[in-house]
Amino acid sequence: MRALMRPAALAAAALAITGCATTAQGPSGGSGAAAVAERSVLVTVPPAGRGAPFDLSGEALDGGRLSLAAYRGKVVVLNFWASWCGECRGEADDLAAAARGTAAQGVQFVGVDTRELQRSAPRVFVRTHHLDYPNFFDTDGDLMLKVPARYLDPMGGIPFTLVLDRRGRIAARAWTPLTADQLTALVAPLAAERG
């Protein structure tokens, strides 16, 4: 079972999603059947439907500040996780392998450790799974709520992953754990695009 958002965050996300239900537009701007299809577990967004660049900034797990804008020009895989989440533990080694395997293509992985009260458990998680990429430390889930509602899992679960193109626009999202092969296949066409 996927780890779920705390009740207040879930209510806010659900309200944001259901509040637009009758006129909802999916990531590619479609409505009706196309918007319903875009609610599937893994969705890619064509360049024309990607919209404005998406940015997050905040505390880094290892201290200091972190901003996605620093990675413009790279494809960014943004994974939301928590050390207490079983499915997050299940996909962590695949994330580490994909991060190492795609770095030469200009792909940067970034994690968002969410809804944890202390840094000790997530730091052990990062070391154990060899996640050698930067991670946000998002104790209360506020960074997750900055994701446009149409890309959030209506159930508020983690793990989930966004992939940003070289211009910082959301180009794909997955509401399920991903394997290294799936991640590699997902970023390959984006790495081939020119910013």
State percent of the chain over pLDDT 90.
73
Band (pLDDT 50/70/90 cuts) for residue 40 is low
What is the structure's pLDDT at 174?
96
What is the structure's pLDDT at 4?
54
- What mean pLDDT value characterizes the chain? 83
Instruction: Inform me whether the pLDDT recorded for 121 exceeds 50.
Output: yes
Would you list the domain boundaries of the chain?
7-192
Give the residue, 150 or 83, on which the prediction is more confident. 83
CATH topology of domain 7-192: Glutaredoxin (3.40.30)
What's the CA gap between 23 and 4, in Å, rounded? 26
Phi, psi angles (nearest 5°) of residue 17: -75, -50
State percent of the chain over pLDDT 70.
79
Q: Contact, 93 vs 129, CB < 8 A?
A: yes
DSSP assignment of 36-80 equals HHTTSSEEE--GGG--S----EEEBTTSSEEEGGGGTTSEEEEEE
Question: What is the pLDDT averaged over residues 2-7?
Answer: 49
Band (pLDDT 50/70/90 cuts) for residue 155 is confident
CB atoms within 10 A of CB 181: 12
Q: Which residues of 92-114 are buried (b: 16+ CB within 10 A; e: fewer)?
A: bebbbbbbeebeeebbbbbbbbb
What is the structure's pLDDT at 195?
66
Give the residue, 78 or 29, on which the prediction is more confident. 78
Q: Contact, 153 vs 17, CB < 8 A?
A: no
Instruction: Give residue-wise pLDDT tens across range 20-37.
Output: 222 223 333 443 333 333
What is the structure's pLDDT at 41?
82
